């Protein structure tokens, strides 16, 4: 067994691991990264964010081709299979792996491909795919091993028609009817993807409103547009059993209903990848979801061991994971590249896209904050009309006395980009956070950003 010595060893090469490794390497530390997959990028690149966003992009292009009258001159509407659109996702994954591999090489970070576990607080044993075991000794270790779909024992995931968000990427045909169990962000995103391919989707939600953490108006808009695309949303339902049959899956609900489809996609919860880490050898405990507790410095209960990304739980987003990993390393190298990540925008890549930051109307009303609303509807905006993207709205919530921007909620074309303008203003200190910014600043025209000016005038006009 070879033994290597490092300042910092990072377990996992997803966004959290990459953020940690790059920051530590830039600060002059000798760094190694271990990943159980033979390529870098983590589940983010191979199974989660990247494939789902690439699939969505292709599906939207197909929808545009099929619904825009201009394209009829070059051909009739065409339907594409799921494996067809998957090919374009695979191309993006390869490009991402190539770029990210380059970052590690450029920063002289050693990569070990194998499963890492703790022998003791400073020693990681890596079992490589060829069975060789390497020993890495490090002063500090960052756990960034991410998460995987939660699989309850009473669901048979070995049945060929029962999928989760990892295995759906192996689907080799296009089902005519699909049950998506779980209407969280991942369930809603896949409902958009499959319905965009013409699949009849039953979306099973165990609550009475889709994504109830969103502003109600936006959640209602999502429900409307999903229904409009042939998604049947069934609220307040829970499974009794999932029965795999020869030609499909039957979902038995506690309410007594039975639903049959060609396949079922399970999107109900995730669990931290901690079971193979040998945490019992170092005394780190995990919660019932397999997640590790950290303090605001991303330090675990063992002082030289840090954790970041999905393995620590909320918000379980790639966006946050990168910054958490970077911050964990910032604490290790004691430079100023540290912050506790708690101001994360919501970006949901359904069709239509959704994004928000700050408080919603429900929260502000409950807190008795005197706010006002300004709205801009995309259907009236030049850039949206040019792009043939009339669906959507930007809503700004602001304090009616101080004019402070309290929340920005958006759905429709480019929503996840548009929200950052509002976020930048909300992050300004004192009077610099003001809705007046949007009427006192000249934006490019025509742009989707114009929605801020329209919404700001709409809101300011309500004041008296």
Ligand X SMILES: Cc1cc2nc3c(=O)[nH]c(=O)nc-3n(C[C@H](O)[C@H](O)[C@H](O)COP(=O)(O)OP(=O)(O)OC[C@H]3O[C@@H](n4cnc5c(N)ncnc54)[C@H](O)[C@@H]3O)c2cc1C
Task: Return residues touching ligand X (CB under 6 A).
Answer: 11-17, 34-37, 42-44, 48-49, 52-53, 115-116, 144-147, 165, 186, 273, 276-277, 309-311, 316-319, 321, 347, 349
Q: How far is the CB of 182 from ligand X (least distance, A)?
A: 11
Residue sitting closest to ligand X (CB) = 146
At residue 149, the 3 state secondary structure works out as strand
* CB-nearer residue toward ligand X: 79 or 314: 314
Closer to ligand X by Cβ: residue 17 or 248: 17
3-state DSSP call for residue 403?
coil
Q: How far is the CB of 230 from ligand X (least distance, A)?
A: 21
Q: Which of 88, 63, 347 is nearest to 230 (CA)?
A: 63
Q: Give, in order, the Cα–Cα distances in Å from 31 to each of 4, 76, 98, 109, 277.
A: 11, 55, 20, 5, 19
Closest approach, Cβ 48 to ligand X, in A, equals: 3
Strands of 392-399's sheet in order across: 346-348, 354-358, 405-412, 392-399, 371-377
CB closer to ligand X out of 50 and 449: 50
- Chain centre distance of CA 122: 32
Give the pairing type, strands 2-11 and 31-35. parallel
How near is the Cβ of 431 to ligand X at its closest, in Å? 32
Given the complex with ligand X, which of 310 and 404 has the nearer CB atom?
310
Can you read off the two tokens belonging to residue 424? Answer: 């930048």
Q: CB of 200: closest distance to ligand X in angstroms?
A: 21
Closest-CA residue to 134 (of 143, 125, 145, 147): 125
CB of 362 to ligand X, least distance (A): 24
Q: How far is the CB of 324 from ligand X (least distance, A)?
A: 8
Q: What is the DSSP string of 12-70?
A: --SHHHHHHHHHHHHTT--EEEEESSSSSSHHHHHTSHHHHHHHHHHHHHHHHHHH-GG
Closest to ligand X by CB, 55 vs 231, is 55
Show the CA angle centred on residue 286, arms to residues 284 and 291, nearest 5°. Answer: 120
Largest CA distance in the chain: 76
CB of 273 to ligand X, least distance (A): 4
Between the CA atoms of 360, 207, 226 and 314, what dihedral angle is there, to the nearest 10 degrees?
Answer: 60
Comparing CB distances to ligand X, the nearer of 230 and 319 is 319
Of 16 and 391, the one with the shorter C-beta distance to ligand X is 16
Length in residues, the chain: 464
Give least dist CB 191 to ligand X, A.
Answer: 12
**Of residues 317 and 403, the one with the C-beta less far from ligand X:** 317
Q: 405 pairs with which residues across the strands?
A: 398
SS3 readout for 307-325: ECHHHHCCCCCHHHHHHHH
Closer by beta carbon to ligand X, 37 or else 453: 37
Pairing of strands 133-143, 123-128: antiparallel
Nearer to ligand X, 38 or 258 (CB): 38
CB of residue 142 to ligand X, shortest distance in Å: 10
C-alpha closest to that of 203 among 80, 350, 81: 350
């Amino acid at each position: 067994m070879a033994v290597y010595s490092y300042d910092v060893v990072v377990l996992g090469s997803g966004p959290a691991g990459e953020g940690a490794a790059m920051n530590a390497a830039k600060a002059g530390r000798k760094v190694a990264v271990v990943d159980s997959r033979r390529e870098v990028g983590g589940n983010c690149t191979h199974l989660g964010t990247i494939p789902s966003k690439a699939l969505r992009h292709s599906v939207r292009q197909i929808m545009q081709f099929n619904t825009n009258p201009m394209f009829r001159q070059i051909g009739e509407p065409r339907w594409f299979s799921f494996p067809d659109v998957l090919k374009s996702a695979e191309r993006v994954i390869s490009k991402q792996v190539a770029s990210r591999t380059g970052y590690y090489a450029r920063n002289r970070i050693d990569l070990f491909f194998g499963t890492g576990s703790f022998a003791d607080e400073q020693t990681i044993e890596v079992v490589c795919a060829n069975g060789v075991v390497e020993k890495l000794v490090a002063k500090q270790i960052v756990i960034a091993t991410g998460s995987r779909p939660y699989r309850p024992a009473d669901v048979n995931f070995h049945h060929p028609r029962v999928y989760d968000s990892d295995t759906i990427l192996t689907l080799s045909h296009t089902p005519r009817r699909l049950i998506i169990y779980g209407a969280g962000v991942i369930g809603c995103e896949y409902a958009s993807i499959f319905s965009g391919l013409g699949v009849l989707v039953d979306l099973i939600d165990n609550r009475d409103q889709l994504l109830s953490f969103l502003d109600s108006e936006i959640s209602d808009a999502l429900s409307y547009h999903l229904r409009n695309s042939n998604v049947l949303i069934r609220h307040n339902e829970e499974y009794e059993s999932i029965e795999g049959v020869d030609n499909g899956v039957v979902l038995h609900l506690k309410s007594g209903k039975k639903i049959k489809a060609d396949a079922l996609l399970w999107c109900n919860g995730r669990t931290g990848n901690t079971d193979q880490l040998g945490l019992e050898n170092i005394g780190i405990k995990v919660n019932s979801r397999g997640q590790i507790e950290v303090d605001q410095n991303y330090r675990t209960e063992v002082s030289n061991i840090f954790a970041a990304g999905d393995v620590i739980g909320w918000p379980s987003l790639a966006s946050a994971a990168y910054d958490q990993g970077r911050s964990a390393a910032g604490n290790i190298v004691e430079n100023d590249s540290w912050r506790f990540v708690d101001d994360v925008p919501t970006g949901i890549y359904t069709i239509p896209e959704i994004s928000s930051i700050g408080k919603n109307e429900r929260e502000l009303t409950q807190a008795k904050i005197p706010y006002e609303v300004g709205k801009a509807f995309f259907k009236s905006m030049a850039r949206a009309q040019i792009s043939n993207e009339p669906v959507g709205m930007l809503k700004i919530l602001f304090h009616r006395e101080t004019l402070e921007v309290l929340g920005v909620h958006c759905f429709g074309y480019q929503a996840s980009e548009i929200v950052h303008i509002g976020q930048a203003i909300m992050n300004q200190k004192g009077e610099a956070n003001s809705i007046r910014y949007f009427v006192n600043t000249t934006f490019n025209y025509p742009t989707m950003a114009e929605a801020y000016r329209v919404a700001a005038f709409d809101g300011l006009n309500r004041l008296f």
